[in-house]
Amino acid sequence: MIDLLRFGDDGWGDELARGLMTTLTLAIVCFITGTLIGLMLMLVRRKGRFSRALVELYVTVLRGVPELLVIYLFFFGTGIFVRKVAASFGYTEYINLSGFFLAALALTCITAAYSAEVFRGAASSIPPGQTEAARAFGFAPAKAFRLIELPQLLVVALPGLGNIWLILLKDTALVSLTSVAELMRQSAVAAGATFRPFTFYAIAALIYFIISMLSERLVLLAERRVAIVGER
């Protein structure tokens, strides 16, 4: 096994390391952007009945469709859509979109749908009287949200966002089916080349497990830190 994991031409250690970096990069990018979009969706939901209906439709569809199917739809449909739009403006050259970009786009949209629900639930736990009091003191809506509601919102939403991160980390393995060279894809290539599928899939499982455990510990530490700051 040590020889199989050696770095260089004689082993697969460097391929697995690059796959791990791609997995972590994909997960971090999608989590940050998806969380920010989810927060914006929560705010858009408040703008009126029509906006609320659109956001609820988006959240319901993205949460109700299997993640793998969403990835396939983005992977095969986005390129067609972009090329048709470009053709309508007279651009006929072939447009090749990056597999990493398409995977990140799909996972970001999925993360945004789940985080929007987390933020909605967290916002409902904050007493509306606080916002009303801020406006009574002359705070603009944006300032009242930034100084009063947002800090409490993040504290309440932190456990839910931690769960979304763990789910997203494991969902990155699904993009291996679209040829993105992340950890699962590299493990599959190594397994096929060496005829040692159990070995490489077990190694991949161990890596995912270690990252998940470390992430869970970090989330717990963040929750405790936030609780201590809140008590002060």
pLDDT tens across 11-66, in order?
Answer: 888 999 999 999 999 999 999 999 999 999 999 998 889 999 999 999 999 999 99
Calpha distance 172→180 (Å, rounded): 10
Q: What percentage of residues in the chain have a pLDDT greater than 70?
A: 97
The pLDDT score that the predictor gives to residue 232 is: 54
Reported as a single tens digit per residue, the pLDDT across 96-148 is 888 899 999 999 999 999 999 999 999 888 887 777 787 777 788 788 888 88
Mean pLDDT, the chain, whole residue set: 89
Q: Are 153 and 161 in contact (CB under 8 A)?
A: no
Q: Are 206 and 214 in contact (CB under 8 A)?
A: no
The pLDDT score that the predictor gives to residue 68 is: 93
- Cα–Cα nearest to 204, from 3, 16, 34: 16
> pTM value?
0.91
